[in-house]
């Protein structure tokens, strides 16, 4: 493909995705991503069973790994743009910045629970993790040289961070036993989350006037960020309004296109989320075993209010089922696949 053809293709994709955010696209945005579980991050590391320290991570090796991923995936992302990000998903940057210890064993990376006293959050110290993140972003930007976008690093939401560093069971009891401390902790973590998220944009340039999302590969004509509320399964709608929504509102006002990641089995907060004017879109992940036809009413309901991104392990038949029953305006379908060959096969069937 010559340079002029590539530039035309980029412009067409940009126009298509810009229309998506306005809910004016004439056909759905359709794309494909890899799986990017913990094992993909572990490949970059030398150690396979230890406490992970920032000085153990080789920036050049990580950049080489990400750049090689681009070469593999660049021609099979459909309407979307492959996007570089340090260690892709599932890496506890903010938990580590807050003082948590990252553990690595086999193909898993996780942060040890370390908050027994909420006061420890005020005393937590970043031991070099943010500096490492900035070095990785700088290295990726230099290596990309404009060939592909470098996305802000996706991290767990403030609520997800709190559940990780405190523990799900302990947090569930705290909602009743220590509610004011929970509120203060979420607020403090939200401030740290916003600081880290905004810091990303100090190290990555815009790409064709906007930014992309590493987990979903979508582009928006402004600063975009993803957040989630995965631990919301333990919150009633009333508790969600009290403890979680203030954090959502606080972080969203710092970005042009904030969107939230939801699982299809945690939709009891959907009414509240749809009422958030600042929320640019909702990303819905069908959980394992979830019936795509059964999700059609939810997808359609979201799309009536906001753009909706459906991202999960979907077959061509799954995606056609949605396309046949949901209007295209504000609809983006992204299939996660295990291999480049799977993406190419789906792309040939659905996009070309």
pLDDT bucket at 5, cuts 50 / 70 / 90: very low
At 126-144, the pLDDT tens digits run 889 999 999 999 999 999 9
- How far apart CA 14 and CA 176 sit, in angstroms, is 47
At 259-304, the pLDDT tens digits run 999 999 889 999 999 999 999 999 999 998 889 999 999 999 999 9
Q: Is the pLDDT of residue 20 over 70?
A: yes
Instruction: Kindly list the distances between the CA atom of residue 237 and the CA atoms of 172, 267, 270, in Å, as whole numbers in the listed order.
Output: 14, 10, 9
- How far apart CA 301 and CA 25 sit, in angstroms, is 17
State residue 91's pLDDT score: 79
What average pLDDT is seen over the chain? Answer: 91
Provide the 10 A C-beta neighbour count for residue 122. 9
List residues bridging with 103 in a β-sheet: 51, 110
- Among the ranges 49-63, 74-88, 107-121, 189-203, which has the highest mean pLDDT value? 189-203
Q: Is the pLDDT of residue 2 over 60?
A: no
At 6-15, the pLDDT tens digits run 456 999 999 9
Domain that holds residue 28: 3-350
pLDDT bucket at 35, cuts 50 / 70 / 90: confident
CATH of the domain at 124: 3.20.20.210
Q: Tell how far CA 77 is from the center of its chain.
A: 16
- Nearest CA to 285 among 308, 268, 251, 256? 308
State residue 273's pLDDT score: 97
Provide the 10 A C-beta neighbour count for residue 57. 20
Please give the average per-residue pLDDT across 201-229, as a whole number.
95
State residue 3's pLDDT score: 47
**Domain total of the chain:** 1
Please give the average per-residue pLDDT across 45-68, as a whole number.
85
């Amino acid at each position: 493909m010559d340079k002029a053809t590539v530039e035309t293709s980029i412009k067409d994709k940009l126009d298509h995705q810009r229309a998506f955010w306005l809910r004016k696209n004439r056909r759905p945005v359709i794309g494909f991503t890899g799986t990017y579980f913990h094992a993909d991050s572990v490949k970059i590391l030398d150690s396979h069973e230890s406490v992970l320290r920032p000085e153990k991570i080789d920036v050049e090796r990580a950049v080489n790994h990400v750049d090689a991923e681009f070469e593999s995936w660049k021609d099979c992302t459909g309407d979307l743009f492959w996007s570089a990000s340090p260690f892709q998903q599932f890496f506890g940057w903010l938990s580590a910045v807050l003082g948590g210890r990252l553990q690595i064993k086999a193909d898993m990376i996780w942060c040890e629970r370390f908050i027994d006293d909420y006061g420890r959050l005020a005393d937590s110290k970043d031991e070099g993790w943010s500096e490492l993140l900035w070095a990785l972003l700088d290295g990726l930007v230099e290596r990309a040289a404009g060939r592909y976008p470098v996305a802000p690093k996706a991290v767990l939401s403030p609520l997800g961070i709190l559940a990780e560093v405190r523990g799900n069971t302990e947090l569930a009891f705290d909602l009743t036993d220590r509610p004011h401390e929970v509120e203060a902790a979420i607020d403090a973590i939200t401030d740290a989350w916003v600081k880290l998220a905004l810091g990303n944009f100090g190290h990555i340039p815009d790409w064709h006037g906007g930014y992309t999302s590493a987990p979903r590969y979508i582009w928006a004509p402004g600063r975009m960020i993803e957040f989630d509320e995965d631990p919301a399964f333990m919150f009633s709608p009333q508790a969600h309004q009290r403890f979680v929504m203030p954090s959502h509102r606080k972080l969203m006002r710092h970005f042009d296109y904030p969107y939230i990641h939801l699982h299809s089995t945690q939709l009891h907060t959907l009414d509240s989320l749809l009422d958030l004017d600042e929320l640019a879109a909702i990303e819905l992940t069908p959980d394992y075993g979830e019936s795509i036809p059964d999700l059609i009413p939810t997808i359609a309901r979201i799309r009536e209010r906001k753009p909706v991104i459906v991202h999960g392990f979907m077959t061509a038949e799954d995606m056609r089922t949605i396309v046949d029953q949901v209007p295209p305006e504000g609809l983006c379908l992204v299939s996660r696949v295990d291999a480049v060959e799977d993406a190419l096969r789906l792309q040939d069937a659905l996009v070309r």
